[in-house]
Amino acid sequence: MIRKMTPTLRLVLLSIVSLIFWPTTVVKGEDPYIFFTWNVTYGTLAPLGTPQQVILINGEFPGPVINSTSNNNVVVNVFNNLDEPFLITWSGVQQRKNSWQDGVLGTNCPILPGSNYTYHFQVKDQIGSFMYYPSTAMHKAAGGFGGLHINSRLLIPVPYPDPEDDYTVIINDWYTKTHSALRNMLDSGRTLGRPEGVLINGKNAKGDGKDEPLFTMKPGKTYKYRVCNAGLKTSLNFRIQGHGLKLVEMEGSHVVQNVYDSLDVHAGGCLAVLVTADQDPKDYYMVASTRFTKTVSTGKGIIRYEGGKGPASAEIPEAPVGWAWSLNQFRSFRWNLTASAARPNPQGSYHYGQINITRTIVLANTAGRANGKLRYAINGISHVNPPTPLKLAEYYGVADKVFKYDIMQDRPPASDKAEIVMQPNVVNITFRDFIEIIFENHEKSIQAYHLDGYSFFAVAIEPGTWSPDKRKNYNLLDAVSRTTIQVYPKSWAAILLTFDNAGMWNIRSEIWERTYLGQQLYVSTLSPGRSLRDEYSLPDNSLICGIVKDMPKPPPYTL
Ligand SMILES: *[C@@H]1O[C@H](CO)[C@@H](O)[C@H](O)[C@H]1NC(C)=O
Ligand SMILES: *[C@@H]1O[C@H](CO)[C@@H](O)[C@H](O)[C@H]1NC(C)=O
Ligand SMILES: *[C@@H]1O[C@H](CO)[C@@H](O)[C@H](O)[C@H]1NC(C)=O
Ligand SMILES: *[C@@H]1O[C@H](CO)[C@@H](O)[C@H](O)[C@H]1NC(C)=O
Ligand SMILES: *[C@@H]1O[C@H](CO)[C@@H](O)[C@H](O)[C@H]1NC(C)=O
Ligand SMILES: *[C@@H]1O[C@H](CO)[C@@H](O)[C@H](O)[C@H]1NC(C)=O
């Protein structure tokens, strides 16, 4: 499938081959380790003025940044000091051969209150900006999220000069209700309604002249801002008064470097921009405001010029209106084909436009009722997590006692009014198949999807209904390889990817009330030989729960 190997690609492939033995046989020439110990606790903060319960990591809200370099082994020992089971997922980090560390309920037993679990994963050549966040319950509504950077090793050049500094910007919609109150609303069949505000790094500037700056810039210097939307559901427009945003990277891909006045960052999405401090030396507002909502809610933060004088102007630049603007912006995002940085998807879909599609899966969101209560579904199936994680059931050879494969069709039911079925939703995908997934949004609100374990080529988003003849409109040359995609109301989005990463992987709506109420599924892709070449064995420290708890551990995979 790989026609021409670039030197970088060859390097990447070599480093992958050299990793096959990890982690069961640890030894020489190993890649560097970075260690973190995280204490997850409740705390009280007042991000919008009223004190409320939040989730802290080592006392921080948002949590600490993981600043890694490609090939680092990242080891995070997470102590759950909440009163509920908890997991963190590393959004967008590919976890090659290692769905064991994905931190979702289909792959991991939750970390019980008062106990800990040590995640161990290796970040590969996805040079870029990512985040982590809680995957359990509605914990994400209270915090527990933060930035995760993967920097380039020195031998792989990055297509822009080293910035003066590297800043992490977590933007999110915010509710003043606790995560348990929000969860109770969903459990009782109600929707969450509108968020009460927007935060930038856990705060919203008051604008009374006393706000502490979030960031400072030296006049004349250029800074990298990595922006991630960790919110529950709202797309946010990001902008900085008086400054252009030069887009350089999205979820691990270097892009063609256009300058934007503002950028829409959809739920679950991350991007990096360069900003040059080339204006009058004073304060400026960084702004994140809600998109596609009846009333616009705005979060602000101060950026201060070092040695600058004067407050930020109270005049906030206007946000764009409507979703056509956003769709046009999506179409302007292009992969930089000449950037010599590592390819985000080095396993073979580099010339993705020339690979024959082996399977097309059309996934449509549906909302409806099951047992009299609101549920969200994909193709009529509303996913429920069984007490035994799907991946453990599969590994222990007792999948048939926990779930059925392939209960969902590859096409949506003829009517959106079709009954919603609550069941674990696991799709069996043949290892290394090149697959087209169409996300259809039949509803009036914006949707966003995320796929764990992979980057995919986001080849099209269009209004209306998808049909095979729409393939002629796909970007088969320089679509950005990324890990989330938004789907506008009454529109569809198409992605292409090779399922070459064995494991059990979550596809979910990034609209969190939807994913909580079942709008997610898992794909199981296993290599035929169950070889260590393709997937790691169950790690020794894995938490074991459900029906496999007292079963003998299956023998590890072999080469
Ligand atoms: C975590 O934080 C809690 C609350 O501050 C504290 O009681 C506990 O000792 C901390 N645990 C660790 C492992 O630091
Ligand atoms: C992150 O790591 C890179 C590479 O080691 C280093 O150059 C950079 O200064 C670090 N950034 C921060 C914000 O610590
Ligand atoms: C929990 O933390 C201890 C160190 O404090 C560590 O030895 C142990 O392996 C951790 N448990 C898991 C399941 O990772
Ligand atoms: C793409 O990357 C190359 C190589 O680093 C760089 O010189 C070029 O400016 C980038 N192109 C665009 C359009 O951003
Ligand atoms: C793709 O399909 C076309 C038409 O069926 C066929 O001619 C071509 O050889 C296939 N290409 C590959 C790489 O399999
Ligand atoms: C999944 O698909 C593969 C390849 O088509 C097949 O060999 C395997 O039996 C399927 N597994 C299940 C559980 O259906």
> Over the stretch 377-424, which tens digit does the pLDDT of each residue have?
999 999 999 999 999 999 999 999 999 999 999 999 998 887 899 999
Looking at the structure, do residues 301 and 372 belong to the same domain, yes or no? no
**Helix/strand/coil (H, E, C) string of 282-303?**
CEEEEEEEECCCCCCCEEEEEE
| pTM for this predicted structure | 0.93
Q: Are 486 and 460 contacting, i.e. CB atoms less than 8 angstroms apart?
A: no
Q: Which domain holds residue 489?
A: 349-548
Bridge partners (DSSP) listed for residue 222: 276
**Residue 26 domain-assigned (yes or no):** no
Looking at the structure, do residues 144 and 225 belong to the same domain, yes or no? no
Looking at the structure, do residues 144 and 210 belong to the same domain, yes or no? no
Nearest CA to ligand 1 atom 12: 39
| Helix locations, 91-190, DSSP H | 179-187
CA angle in degrees (0–180, nearest 5) for 327-333-338? 165
Q: Are 493 and 486 contacting, i.e. CB atoms less than 8 angstroms apart?
A: yes
Looking at the structure, do residues 183 and 110 belong to the same domain, yes or no? no
**Residue 160 domain-assigned (yes or no):** no
pLDDT at position 10: 35
What element of type H or E holds 462?
strand 456-463
Determine if ligand 6 sits within 6 Å of the CB of residue 160: no
Determine if ligand 1 sits within 6 Å of the CB of residue 79: yes
Bridge partners (DSSP) listed for residue 392: none
Q: Ligand 6, from 394, 400, 430, 524: best to mutate by most atoms within 8 Å of Cβ? A: 430
**Residue 11 domain-assigned (yes or no):** no
- The tens digit of pLDDT for each residue in 435-467 reads 999 999 999 999 999 999 999 999 999 999 999
- The tens digit of pLDDT for each residue in 69-108 reads 999 999 999 999 999 999 999 999 999 999 999 999 999 9
Looking at the structure, do residues 141 and 173 belong to the same domain, yes or no? no
Return the ligand 6 atom nearest residue 528 CA. Answer: 7
Looking at the structure, do residues 250 and 363 belong to the same domain, yes or no? no
Looking at the structure, do residues 541 and 401 belong to the same domain, yes or no? yes
Return the ligand 6 atom nearest residue 428 CA. Answer: 1
Q: Phi and psi dihedrals of 70, rounded to 5?
A: -55, 140
Nearest CA to ligand 4 atom 12: 256
Looking at the structure, do residues 316 and 356 belong to the same domain, yes or no? no
**Residue 353 domain-assigned (yes or no):** yes
What ligand has the least distance to the C-alpha of 148?
2
CATH of the domain at 501: 2.60.40.420
- With 0-12 / 13-18 / 19 or more C-beta atoms within 10 angstroms meaning exposed / middle / buried, residue 417 is exposed
Determine if ligand 1 sits within 6 Å of the CB of residue 81: yes
- The tens digit of pLDDT for each residue in 485-510 reads 999 999 999 999 999 999 999 999 99
At 349, is the pLDDT very low, low, confident or very high (cuts 50, 70, 90)?
A: very low
- With 0-12 / 13-18 / 19 or more C-beta atoms within 10 angstroms meaning exposed / middle / buried, residue 4 is exposed
Q: Ligand 3, from 38, 40, 76, 77: best to mutate by most atoms within 8 Å of Cβ? A: 77
At 129, is the pLDDT very low, low, confident or very high (cuts 50, 70, 90)?
A: very high
> Using a 6 Å CB cutoff, which residues line ligand 4?
159, 256-257, 336, 338-339
Return the ligand 1 atom nearest residue 37 CA. Answer: 13
- The tens digit of pLDDT for each residue in 253-291 reads 999 999 999 999 999 999 999 999 999 999 999 999 999
**Residue 245 domain-assigned (yes or no):** yes
248-to-339, 426, 550 alpha-carbon distances in Å: 11, 36, 50
Q: Are 407 and 526 contacting, i.e. CB atoms less than 8 angstroms apart?
A: no
Sign of CA dihedral 163, 157, 160, 320: negative
Q: Ligand 4, from 273, 333, 336, 477: best to mutate by most atoms within 8 Å of Cβ? A: 336
Looking at the structure, do residues 242 and 316 belong to the same domain, yes or no? yes
Count up the domains in the chain and report the number. 3
Dist. CA 143 → ligand 1 center (Å)? 17
